Amino acid sequence: MTPTLPITFGVMCAADRMTHAGLQRFAQQVEAAGLDQIWVPELLGRDPFLTASALLSATQRVRVGTAIANVYVRDARATKSAAYSLVDAFGDRFDLGLGVSNPLGNEPRGHAWLPPVTKLRDFVDRYDAADLYFQAPEGRIPRYLAAHGPKLMKLAGERFDGAFSYLQTLAYSKIAKGLLGEGRLNLMQPTVFLEDPEAARSLARKAIKIYMPLENYHRAWRERGFEDADFKDGGSDAFIDALIPWGNSATINAAYRQQIAQGVGHIIMTPLGLDLDQDSGWQTISALTQSLKGSGAA
């Protein structure tokens, strides 16, 4: 499958670990490295929209998006207001990524869990209908949906500009793109820049540890052919190798190209094994990005 849209490359921002000054420095390093976009998660710390504002204010070119803003945390009108306020302040450089998170993350906050498709259809209906009582920018802000199963992926194709896929196999990217249709498939891709197999897999296991107990991920992984034994002790070697590329830049380059060939239109790396407090870490990311773009992959 040959993507029809330009291939772009982004990076996840570990915002909860950074100061405001650190966020702005990170944004400037991303822009200097030639990446196209920064994505901000919503975990247990920083507000993703305020964080996006800090990143946008420090840059001139790079896009910024939420990956993802949790639809249980704020209502549709508040979400739309925040998104359009960012575009009003910083121009057309913001993308809205939405998702439902999971019951373990939402129920302790007092939110009753609803079927994801039901929750998201209602949310996007209210978002589209919401009036903004300020001079909002014209046009529609691109929006993307975090989707695992086929129902959510189809919803993304119907009501969103694309979808996020996370911790899934190469084969699933082709399936997901088929379900999504013309929308852009954004692959959230933890990537380990280490060549030693034991060290690389150990770091990969640490990075995805919080997802390993979650049954919604187990269901998706079983559909990819894995068994429950693959989820024990941090994940089997075969499981880790199927989900997370590791090695030198050439190996990672090849893994990304394989994903692009399956229909992925935007790769969002979480770089592991690099010291991003040093110029050398960013130089590695920049060289990888430029190699992919310069070779025609982009």
The CATH number of the domain holding residue 171 is: 3.20.20.30
Integer distance in angstroms from the first to the last C-alpha of the chain?
A: 14
Residue 81 lies in a domain: yes
In a domain, 221, yes or no: no
- What is the span of the domain harbouring residue 287? 8-198+243-294
Query: Is 101 within the bounds of a domain?
Result: yes
* Alpha-helical runs (H) found in 147-278: 150-159, 170-180, 197-207, 215-223, 237-243, 249-261
Express each pLDDT in 194-206 by its tens digit.
Answer: 999 999 999 999 9
In a domain, 32, yes or no: yes
Residue 4 pLDDT > 60: no
Secondary structure tally for the chain: helices H, strands E:
12, 9
In a domain, 255, yes or no: yes
Residue 206 lies in a domain: no
Total structural domains in the chain? 1
pLDDT, tens digit, for every residue of 245-297?
A: 999 999 999 999 999 999 999 999 999 999 999 999 999 999 999 999 876 56
